[in-house]
Amino acid sequence: GQQVMQIPQYQHVQEGEDFTTYCNSSTTLSNIQWYKQRPGGHPVFLIQLVKSGEVKKQKRLTFQFGEAKKNSSLHITATQTTDVGTYFCAGLGSGTYKYIFGTGTRLKVLA
Amino acid sequence: GAVVSQHPSWVICKSGTSVKIECRSLDFQATTMFWYRQFPKQSLMLMATSNEGSKATYEQGVEKDKFLINHASLTLSTLTVTSAHPEDSSFYICSAMTGSNTGELFFGEGSRLTVL
């Protein structure tokens, strides 16, 4: 079945450093979403990417969808302590209605 | 944004008892809701898709007799963990879509189940 992997599993950065998490699917995706889950909280939607090669920005966050629609990345510029949490990608396979969540990347930002 | 409410947030029960978790869409109608299980520091594992007015669709490996899902109305889905055992202890979380083109999933706050 469809598998979605993320690397790295953990990342500790100093405040102000950049951070990137990568998401790779075993199958081609219709679209991909990104979520953030704070410790003890529930996932919160960040963005959805649909088109091959699409790039979207939200302030310090940059999201990319690969040309083959099998991978994606989230880049945070100049991290802040408020960026702490686990970032999940969620892929929608072609012809399905279910989002499969990636393994997640847990970000810690050291002040 | 849309609000999904889950209840209870925490529940502790004895082994062998059943526990019901409710997931409500407060300001929209949800024909489809999703139930996930999340172990500590791990990803969300989709358990089943709850469809209003019809049977739930379970993922491979999820026991449908163990995890009973009912979606009796457009705003309420319930997950009942039957004859709970300590290995069922986990964080259960539901989500729903509003039906808009964004495809965004709105999550409930989650329910942490501890089986003694």
Q: Encoding tokens for residue B76?
A: 């309420």
| Secondary-structure percent of chain B, ordered helix, strand, coil, rounded to 5 | 5, 55, 45
Asked if the bond preceding B86 is cis, omega within 30° of 0, the reply is no
Structure confidence by residue, pLDDT tens digits, A4-61 = 999 999 999 999 999 999 999 999 999 999 999 999 899 999 999 999 999 999 999 9
The rounded distance, in Å, linking the Cα atoms of A49 and A28 is 13
Per-residue pLDDT at B2: 84
Hey, are the CB atoms on A42 and B105 less than 8 Å from each other? no
Sheet holding A61-65, edge to edge: A4-7, A19-25, A71-76, A61-65, A55-58
Structure confidence by residue, pLDDT tens digits, A56-110 = 999 999 999 999 999 999 999 999 999 999 999 999 988 888 899 999 999 999 9
Residue with tokens 């729903």: B96
Per the CB < 8 A criterion, the answer to whether A70 and A24 are in contact is yes
Hey, are the CB atoms on A101 and B44 less than 8 Å from each other? yes
User: Would you place residue A2 in the very low, low, confident or very high pLDDT band (cuts 50, 70, 90)?
Assistant: confident
The rounded distance, in Å, linking the Cα atoms of A88 and A18 is 18
Q: Encoding tokens for residue A52?
A: 């091959």
Residue with tokens 């790295």: A8
Nearest to B46 among A35, A48, A100 (CB): A100
A90 in contact with B at a CB cutoff of 8 Å? yes
A101 in contact with B at a CB cutoff of 8 Å? yes
A97 in contact with B at a CB cutoff of 8 Å? yes
Encode chain B (116 residues) as per-residue pLDDT tens digits.
789 999 999 999 999 999 999 999 999 888 889 999 999 889 999 999 998 888 999 999 999 999 999 998 889 999 999 999 999 999 999 999 877 666 788 999 999 999 99
Nearest to A102 among B43, B60, B93 (CB): B43
Per-residue pLDDT at A69: 96
Hey, are the CB atoms on B46 and A42 less than 8 Å from each other? no
Beta partners for residue A75, in sequence order: A20, A62
Q: Encoding tokens for residue B8?
A: 């209870």
Per-residue pLDDT at B100: 67
Per-residue pLDDT at B102: 67
Per-residue pLDDT at B101: 62
Residue A85 backbone zone (phi > 0: left; psi -120 to 50: alpha; other: beta)? left
Per-residue pLDDT at A6: 97
Per-residue pLDDT at A29: 94
Per-residue pLDDT at B52: 86
Per-residue pLDDT at A34: 97
Report the residue count for chain A.
Answer: 111
Per-residue pLDDT at A80: 97
**Which contiguous run of DSSP H or E holds residue B65?**
none
Per-residue pLDDT at B82: 97
Per-residue pLDDT at B88: 96
CB contacts of B45 in chain A (<8 Å) are 101
